[in-house]
Amino acid sequence: MSFFTELAHQYIDGEWRPGSGSWDIIDFNPYDGEKLASITVATAAEVDQAYRAAERAQTGWAATNPYARRLVFERALRIIEDREQEITETIIAELGGTHLKAAFELHLAKEFLREAVQLALRPEGRILPSPVDGKENRVYRLPVGVVGVISPFNFPFLLSIKSVAPALALGNAVVLKPHQNTPICGGSLVAKVFEEAGLPAGLLNVVITDIAEIGDALIEHPVPRAISFTGSDKVGKHVATVCAANFKRAILELGGNSALIVLDDADIDYAVDAAVFSRFVHQGQVCMAANRVLVDRSVEKEFTEKFVAKVKTLKVGDPADPRTHIGPLINSTQADAVSALVEQTVEAGAKALLRGSAEGNVLSPSVLTDLAADSPVLQQEVFGPVAIIVPFDGEDEAVRIANDTPYGLSGAVHTGDIERGVRLAQRINTGMIHINDSTVHDEPIVPFGGEKHSGSGRLNGESMIEAFTTQKWISVQHGRSQFPF
């Protein structure tokens, strides 16, 4: 049975059921427009039911031996491995992801589940000294309780699992809201995997809905103590504001405007390969994508010629074709916005070394250069197959241009001198940056997150413990204290 037929429901307290809203979310294939599923939205009342179920289930789960908890994640990993072909086909159909993109997403999802197995055993308590004689200070690591997770459309299966699995492993319960464009991959498919893996009912709930129906109910609700949000900085700012007003922890993984910097001593052919991947993976719909390619003027001509030549070799079209490199954008709104942005930038004086065209939601690549220093496109995240080449003179100018953005997520530096690259990387205001590699990386035990408008907090490894647990001080007085009155 197709996942789109089987899983077109809400998942609340261990039950698959329809939403009770008055309208449906229609799930479309972004490449051919095929209707994949119709899902009646969840209401604020169902959000409440999901959170209350999570609250009831969490206490017992937190008390469960972590060695027993981790068995769920071992089984979930095997389920994904056994159904990898079905999940791949679902990613291709719902996201317009290519075979290469689906393989990349599934590889990382499995890696994060492997890390969750270990994470269940990692929280440690401490005993700290006291200036008071006979006092013992115990510091416990405890689950925060219930976590709300809001995942995006670009890597929905991975980015849902990335927060859901660690939160559960550390003894929390979760309510997950996937993006309305990817309700199956980002929501109900994740629930199905954990249901089959034996996760007790109520610990993971999925509500498929939209802000038009529930407003801020998902983040204002009194039960969740932490909200993990991945998406745009505009929405992230609102999430942070509501969380602060309700004294909730907000973990925000937001957008980027990353720069891949090519220094004068770089391996040009290798830098071209890294830049093309960094810009055009998943049609450029990646927060870590290299929005800007900064090239030392002394190697600009060689780099640009080779970059454009390689981009021309990318196969554009049906993501179901294993040879395709660039498939559709997620919807027509996004495709129209990216097309309009290219047109406006060229009209403002930019030179199009390669001018893409649109066929439905599929945009072929554009490569732009000679942009004015104050061009708006240099300041924003471009979620589409558009590369911008910017020349610079010397390292100081490269740093200035790279930092001239409200974002600070990822980046890369290409150079023949690794330590030179590290010194320059330390001057770039980002949460992550890579020497002689692409800008697009995520690993389970390395802190992931950004600076400035690219978010707050970190995920992965030990950062997951900080995100999804809290510390509790319990003191024990051995003997009698002396009180002043």
Catalytic site residue from 105, 213, 287, 381: 287
The two tokens of residue 313 are 């070799």
Q: Of 301, 293, 314, 297, which Cα lies nearest the Cα of 368?
A: 293
Tokens of 59: 């206490």
DSSP secondary structure code for residue 364 in this structure:
-
Secondary structure in 3-state letters for the chain: CCHHHHCCCEEECCEEECCCCCCEEEEECCCCCCEEEEEECCCHHHHHHHHHHHHHHHHHHHHCCHHHHHHHHHHHHHHHHHCHHHHHHHHHHHHCCCHHHHHHHHHHHHHHHHHHHHHCCCCCCEEECCCCCCEEEEEEEEECCEEEEECCCCCHHHHHHHHHHHHHHCCCEEEEECCCCCCHHHHHHHHHHHHHCCCCCCCEEECCCCHHHHCCHHHHCCCCCEEEEECCHHHHHHHHHHHHHCCCEEEEECCCCEEEEECCCCCHHHHHHHHHHHHHHHHHCCCCCEEEEEEEHHHHHHHHHHHHHHHHCCCECCCCCCCCCECECCCHHHHHHHHHHHHHHHHCCCEEEECCCEECCEECCEEEECCCCCCHHHCCCCCCCEEEEEEECCHHHHHHHHHCCCEECCEEEECCCHHHHHHHHCCCCCCCCEECCCCCCCCCCCCECCEECCEECCECCHHHHHHHEEEEEEEEECCCCCCCC
Identify the CA nearest to 409 among candidates 443, 451, 457: 451
Look up 185 and say whether it is catalytic. Answer: no
User: Pick the catalytic residue: 94, 115, 253, 395?
Assistant: 253
Asked if residues 33 and 53 have their Cβ atoms less than 8 Å apart, the reply is no
d(C-alpha 193, C-alpha 431), whole Å = 32
Contact predicate 125/154, CB 8 Å:
no
Catalytic positions are 253, 287
